[in-house]
Structure 1
């Protein structure tokens, strides 16, 4: 379905906040339920409290919000703080395309790209397939890094 569809990536606005929260909760629910940690109020609060439209990018297909990501430039790396794809659009290479875009951004800045993934999430296998390597394990998350091969 996505192969021939045009994907648009647009800067988020404050007015997008509630739609982004709803998508985050929808995308996170299966992984968090698997570890007994699903709490939609907490998921909402954590995102709202750290929301910065300047670092947030919406992913649209036919003007429909199908995903979003938040990337923050640190002094020594880019940090992918969030990447969520609507479950109805997962498995169609959309996440891979977004990661490719972020890798190009990291490459252009000569910085590694880092992220965290909930330990029990299917996202771990996805990030490993995309060339990320584990660099740390925290209480709930695995931390990964990608950098351009030398």
Structure 2
């Protein structure tokens, strides 16, 4: 995995993130018959909150972004995009692990939505997210804080065998 860094986002990052979103989401949105080149960028512009967003850089170059927005009963993981040439190399998993560790320290629930059929579903499932609901376009997922989750069956058996 490449060395990566998170830096706070600023208003100046808006257009770069909007373009990254359009590139990353295009295949899934086209598959779902929902791609609109203006709307995909505008939805990001309408919801961009630099105060809750981090830019992901590898070697000093913009590679992605992620937002963790506080809500009343949880955090919402949003705008998690990695450049296609950086996907599948462990960066996304490492970034997600760091954010979820923070949420676990705060004993916080994390929610997200992802496009149906997206390969990102597997990433989220590996990190403890489960499907809460879904519609024709989105899958809504939730992850309980580590302290309140049931241990995996193998961990229970291992603990009993000691």
Question: Does TM-score exceed 0.5, indicating one fold?
Answer: yes
Rg larger for: 2
Q: Which residue of 1 aligns with 2:159?
A: none
Write 1 or 2 for the structure with the bigger share of helix: 2
Alignment RMSD (CA, Å): 1.2
Q: Which residue of 1 aligns with 2:71?
A: 74
Q: Conserved in 1, the CA contact under 8 Å of 2:22 and 2:37? A: yes
Separation in 1 of the partners of 2:47 and 2:128?
Answer: 28
Deviation per residue, 1:96-128 (Å, 9 max, x gap): 111101111111111111110111211122211
Q: Helix, strand or coil for the counterpart of 1:75?
A: coil
Within the candidate set 99, 104, 107, 1:102 is matched to 99
Q: Helix, strand or coil for the counterpart of 2:62?
A: strand
Q: Which runs of 5+ in 1 are unaligned?
A: none
Q: Conserved in 2, the CA contact under 8 Å of 1:132 and 1:144? A: yes
Separation in 2 of the partners of 1:13 and 1:128?
Answer: 30
Q: Which residue of 2 aligns with 1:142?
A: 139
So what's the TM-score if we normalise by structure 1?
Answer: 0.92
How many residues matched? 147
